[in-house]
Amino acid sequence: MNAALLLARHEWRRLAMQPFAWTLAAIVVALMAWQFLLSIQTYLDVAPKLGGLRDAPGATDLVALPLLRGFSNLLLLLVPLITMRAIAGERRAATLPLLLAAGIGDTRIVLGKFLGAWGYVLALTALVAMMPLSLAAGTTPDLGKLAAALCGLALFSAALTAIGVLASTLAAQPALAAAAAIAINALLAMVDAGARAQGVTNGGINYLALPTHLEPFFQGIVASVDIVYFLLIVAVALALAVRRLGMLRGAAA
């Protein structure tokens, strides 16, 4: 495990040295800040009309959660850009043998890469979370609901990161790895779209879809079935990545 953490720290250090990571973070924060400001303006416009309603939605429902929901959609595209270089980048730069020859084992290599990328995504999530949390300065946000939503985002991003790392072991080029991960993410996000259109919301196909398990967190519901779903995706994707890395040993440059 120490070797996996060492590798994860090394990944963070490498990300910190790359303009790519900072640029990506800047773009994401700017986009989310823009959406946040628009949401606040909309909320301020409708707030006087909400005063007379019973159980009227507050700033958490009208500003914070839409922002985090939007961020979750952005993660479907964003995480593959971060994970694409995990293994495919090492292969392209011919640096994979350094890790393969270090005697730390394929599982720790994959875990280290996963933790490194997930750490960056969590840092980004924390930056975005500052915006809804800043509402506390002028109103009283539902912190329980926010905590549930952030917990869901953390699990959701872990699943996307694991899928991204798996895709990075499958492709020799980082761009292909990103494309493969985006395709898998899109499939998992929309796999039950047809069923939903038909009004089916609790079938087997719904269980496979990512939004089925993320949405309850945004409603403040932390259910073990949703936690297990995300952990299952992480475990399966990382296990497949370890297996694939073992196969890559024969072809490693």
Partner 1 sequence: MNETAAALALQGATRRLGGRAVVRGIDLAIHSGEVLGLLGVNGAGKTTTLRMMAGVLAPDRGSVRLHGADLREEPERGRARIGYLPETPPLHAELTAREYLAFCARLHGVARGVVATRVERAIERCDLGDVSRRPLGALSKGYRQRVGIAQAIVHEPEVVILDEPASGLDPVQALALRALVRNLGQSHAVVLSTHVLPDVAACCDRVAILHRGELRHVGAVGSADGALRVGVARPLAAAVWNDMPEVAAAEALDASHWRVRPAAGIAPEQIAAAIVSHGFGLTELVADTSPLESTFLAIAAGEAAEAV
DSSP string for residues in 11-59? HHHHHHH-HHHHHHHHHHHHHHHHHHHHHHHHHHHHHHHHTTSTT---H
Smallest distance from partner 1 to CB 5, Å: 10
Smallest distance from partner 1 to CB 15, Å: 9
Read off the tokens for 168: 């990075």
- Residue 251 contacts partner 1 per CB under 8 A: yes
Residue type, 154: A
Contact partners, residue 129, CB within 8 Å, separation at least 6: 68, 146, 150
- Site for partner 1, residues 70 to 99, rule: CB under 8 A: 93-99
| CA 23 remoteness from chain centre | 18
Count of positions on this chain that bind partner 1 (CB under 8 A): 26
Smallest distance from partner 1 to CB 3, Å: 7
Smallest distance from partner 1 to CB 96, Å: 7
Distance in Å from the first CA to the final CA of the chain: 26
Q: Report the residue number, 67 or 111, with the smaller CB distance to partner 1.
A: 111
Residue type, 57: P
Q: Helix, strand, or coil here: 88?
A: helix
- Whole-angstrom CA distances from 52 to 45, 49, 141 are 15, 7, 19
- Residue 136 contacts partner 1 per CB under 8 A: no
Q: What are phi and psi of 202, to 5 degrees?
A: -130, 35
- Residue 1 contacts partner 1 per CB under 8 A: no
Contact partners, residue 236, CB within 8 Å, separation at least 6: none
Q: Report the residue number, 66 or 116, with the smaller CB distance to partner 1.
A: 116
Smallest distance from partner 1 to CB 166, Å: 21
Smallest distance from partner 1 to CB 14, Å: 6
Q: From 95, 105, 94, 117, select the one nearest 181 (Cα to Cα).
A: 117
- Residue 101 contacts partner 1 per CB under 8 A: yes
Q: Report the residue number, 29 or 252, with the smaller CB distance to partner 1.
A: 252
- Site for partner 1, residues 2 to 61, rule: CB under 8 A: 3, 6-7, 10, 13-14, 17-18
- Residue 133 contacts partner 1 per CB under 8 A: no
Q: Report the residue number, 6 or 222, with the smaller CB distance to partner 1.
A: 6
Question: Where along the sequence are the contacts to partner 1 (CB under 8 A)?
Answer: 3, 6-7, 10, 13-14, 17-18, 93-105, 249-253
